[in-house]
Structure 1
C-alpha cells in the first residue's frame, strides 16, 4: 500500500509528459509549453522602450586626448581644457541605440551632413541622429544614422590636432572615432 502511494505522483507526471509529447507529435506545436513551430524554446523579444528619452550629461573624451565641444558659432572641435563649458553635452536617447547630442552651454546639436562634415545645428533634424555603439575596448563610437555613402557608416572622429575628421574618411577601427563618455562633475 505504501509503495502504491509513492508511485502514484510519479506515474501522474509521467502520463502528463507523455500526453504533451504525443500532442506535439500529432502536429500541435502549441502542445509543448515554451516551444515554437521549430521545436526550439521560444524567447520573447526584449523590450528596451525604457531607454527611449534617457538623458545623460557627459563630456565625450576622444582617444586622441581631446574633449568634444560645440562653440557658440556652431563650430565642432576638440579641446584639452576639461572645464570648458562647451564640452558639456546632453546625450538624449531618441530610439534604442540612437542618440542626439546637444551642447548644454550653446544649445547647438551635433550634426553630420551627407559629405561627412560635422557641424552644430540650432534646430534638431535628421542629420542630428547618431548610432551609439559600445565597442569591445569600452569606448563608444557615433555613426551618422542618416548618411551611409556606399552603405558604409560615417563616424564622428577628432584627429590628433582636435579637428573633426570627415565622416567619409573614418572607420569604426580608427582610434580617432573612439570616445569615452565621462560624467560631468
Structure 2
C-alpha cells in the first residue's frame, strides 16, 4: 500500500471517530417517566393530558432534529477524502448542483500532493425551521499535510436535504493564519 493510501485510511478512521463522537453528542436522552407525570389529584385531567401530548411532540421533534443533524454531519467524512483526488468528479457528486462555486473552497481544490488530513467538526447549526431541518451549517477546522508546512483552514459547509440524502450547497473555507 502506498504512503498516500495509508494516510487516506488513517484520515478515514479519524473521521469515523469524529462522526461517532458527534453522534453520541447529538443523541437525545430519553425523558424519565417520572418527569412527565403530573399528579392527577392536583391538576385537572385536560391539562394533564395536554402536557403529555406536548411532551410527546417535543420528544419526537427533538429526535427528528437529532437524526437529521447526524445524517448531515455524516455526509462530510465521505467528501473530504475524495476532494483531493486528481479527478474531482466523485467530490463534485456531493454537491447539489454538481460543482461548488469557485470562491467557496477554491484554495482546497488547488492543493496538490495532500498526504494527510484532519477534520474537526463543530456542532451543526440549523438553517431551516421545522421539526426535521432541511438545511444545516457544519463548521469545520481542517489540518492538511502535504508538500511544505502543515496548512490549516477554517470555515463551514452548508448542506441541504434532497431526495438522495444530504448535499452540499455552499462552502466558505479559508486558510487560517499561522499560529505563532
Is the pair's TM-score, using the shorter chain for normalization, greater than 0.5? no
Q: TM-score, normalised by structure 1?
A: 0.31
Larger fraction in strand: 1
Instruction: Determine which structure has greater relative contact order: mean sequence separation of CA pairs < 8 Å that are 6+ residues apart, divided by chain length.
Output: 2
Q: TM-score, normalised by structure 2?
A: 0.31
- Structure number with greater Rg is 1
Larger fraction in helix: 2
